[in-house]
Structure 1
């Protein structure tokens, strides 16, 4: 499996433990979570912020971090009910294409992203997670990272339209080639939740680095696709 930001990996583990009822009503304290998941308190805080954004947990002053849902069905319902501001829709070939922004954050890059995007360790990047649905059925889960110094000004409003349209029409940048790696993988907890697949369904992943026409990397992404929804065609030029 390709490398995800550490706080997302930890959030994934915490969410899986919630789904399997390891925790009841509320999560352990941050110090305890840091010990359980063998990571720093800073990473745990970021993971909890991410889970809060998804509507799975809620920190209450003096009461710890409460679990708002304790099974996959309830989590899915709550996520759909609270994240409607992150949806965009369009019609193509009589099919409704829906984009759901699960997470939109700014952070420092991982070691792998520093290499792929040719960044300094302190350069900030956008961290975007989106779910794509076709006729209200999930087909794709996208993890996208873009350097702010190359693509400035991305907002939720931009995400609700088209990032590539913003790059070309607003920033007046020309998009060049993309380097892609294709692989099959086993589904993780996020795949099972957002792609509605079972633990044994294969997932088709596309890892890519996109470049501007001058060779500057502007996007590193991992796209997770359901095996039974659509096809991917690669045309060699």
Structure 2
């Protein structure tokens, strides 16, 4: 379910696309938008930040919010600080996302995983590899490890849908934060087979550890992205 600010961002986005808000014009000021949508100024600010992240508008204090009517990017852009899952991100954009399970096993953590997820050697873990397919095209390969005791009853059916929805709604878990690193890498066998990469194609690899509200690490994953299909962004605007 979309939040109020996501719905408002969708409405403004559509107005930009259909010309209600012309290119190079200014978005109505926040006071007018507050009155129109019947929400707080903070909600309007969050909606505008989404559109800024997409490159559709640019906002600067004292200058208003300018309509750009195009994205800065030619690929899907994911906010660095968002960790609600790819299914959630694509649902917001009304894009069809499918998941194909390549591997789903139970094993035991090596020393690296023990350290990252604060596990003992005898604690079982899920070892998962999924191909995420966006609008019918291979998009990203996700290598995921989760402790079995924190994520009981995980099934292939859940993996083919949204794991994070199961964690949040099915198990009632709350995420507290994430630690991420980004690096370039060479295409591996899985990348060449499932992402249709050539030997010379670079891969954007994102490693992350997801933490629950109490600080317990619940996931370590590596997302392997084609260089030409996905990027990550952070909003950094000086409002002073």
TM-score range, shorter chain: 0.5 to 0.7
* 1:173 matched to 2:150: no
> 2:45: which partner in 1?
none
> 1:103: which partner in 2?
103
Q: What does 1:93-132 align with in structure 2 at a 5 Å threshold?
A: 93=93, 95-132=95-132
Structure 2 unaligned residues grouped into runs of 5+:
1-86
Contact preservation (8 Å) 2:139, 2:225: yes
Question: Displacement, 1:92?
Answer: 6.4
Structure 1 unaligned residues grouped into runs of 5+:
1-87
Q: What does 1:154-169 align with in structure 2 at a 5 Å threshold?
A: 154-169=154-169
Distance 2:148 2:98 in 1: 26
Distance 1:174 1:159 in 2: 19
- Count residues in correspondence: 148
Question: Displacement, 1:161?
Answer: 2.3
Question: Displacement, 1:164?
Answer: 1.0
Distance 1:235 1:169 in 2: 29
Q: What does 1:127-138 align with in structure 2 at a 5 Å threshold?
A: 127-138=127-138
Contact preservation (8 Å) 2:98, 2:160: no
Distance 1:107 1:234 in 2: 36
Distance 1:163 1:134 in 2: 16
Contact preservation (8 Å) 2:187, 2:202: yes
> 1:59: which partner in 2?
none
